[in-house]
Amino acid sequence: MQTSVANSKPHSVYYILDSFDRIADVSDTWGETAPESDQSKSLKNSVVGGGLRDFVKGDEVIGFLNTLFFWCRFENRVYETLYRCDGPDTPRLFRMIVQPRPDEHILVEHRLISQTQRPSMGRAAPFFGPKCSICCRYNIDSVWVDPFTSARGDYQVTEHVFCPDCRDRLSSGLVAKPDDLAKDAS
């Protein structure tokens, strides 16, 4: 069942980074969309004061975010992009908005655009591979596969990276259309 947030109150979470990229504050709704296995690490009191590297996985992803935050501060400009953050049976599309604030702080907001509840597919023998942190596809035998459109089984993350399509989109600063990321997720 497709759920669009356009017809209901938008779900949004945010965090504010200080000038050293430590988490200074998070929204009251922080952790509501975290997968059940990650909720204990997502509680507000467990997050505030931590560095971004404590909560983000993948050297490529951390490097991109460090560059992005520097760019937003230096250029005093807002950056937006779409990404997926899926639950076990729910593809979810979010918009990330990065805004510079006074005192070199950064506001990073994540707005839920849509989500689709899927029936549980059960678990098959796992496939191991890198996962794109933007589109949630896995690199299996040099092919980027969406776990919700593939019948191959249970995918396990070996590392968090960017697939070539998302790397190009992020580095160009373009905002992808929702259909680019969600075409197979509904």
- pLDDT for the residue 37: 47
Q: Which domains, ranges and CATH numbers included, belong to the chain?
A: 10-179 (3.30.450.20)
pLDDT level of residue 110 (50, 70, 90 thresholds): very high
From the number of C-beta atoms within 10 Å of its C-beta (0-12, 13-18, 19+), residue 165 rates as: middle
- pLDDT for the residue 6: 45
User: Does the pLDDT at position 95 exceed 90?
Assistant: yes
The stretch 128-151 carries a mean pLDDT of 84
Q: Using CA atoms, how far apart are residues 153 and 174, in angstroms rounded to an integer?
A: 32
The stretch 127-144 carries a mean pLDDT of 86
User: Does the pLDDT at position 90 exceed 90?
Assistant: no
User: Does the pLDDT at position 174 exceed 50?
Assistant: no
The stretch 32-59 carries a mean pLDDT of 72
**Long-range contact pairs involving 95-99 (C-beta distance under 8 Å, separation at least 24):** 98/68, 98/69, 98/72, 99/72
- pLDDT for the residue 100: 95
User: Does the pLDDT at position 175 exceed 90?
Assistant: no
User: Does the pLDDT at position 34 exceed 80?
Assistant: no
- pLDDT for the residue 87: 79
User: Does the pLDDT at position 55 exceed 70?
Assistant: yes
Helix then strand then coil, in percent of the chain rounded to 5, is 25, 35, 40
- pLDDT for the residue 97: 95
Lowest mean pLDDT among 33-37, 125-129, 142-146: 33-37
Beta bridge partners of 35: none
- pLDDT for the residue 177: 45
User: Does the pLDDT at position 173 exceed 80?
Assistant: no
Contact 131, 137 (CB under 8 A): yes
The stretch 130-145 carries a mean pLDDT of 88
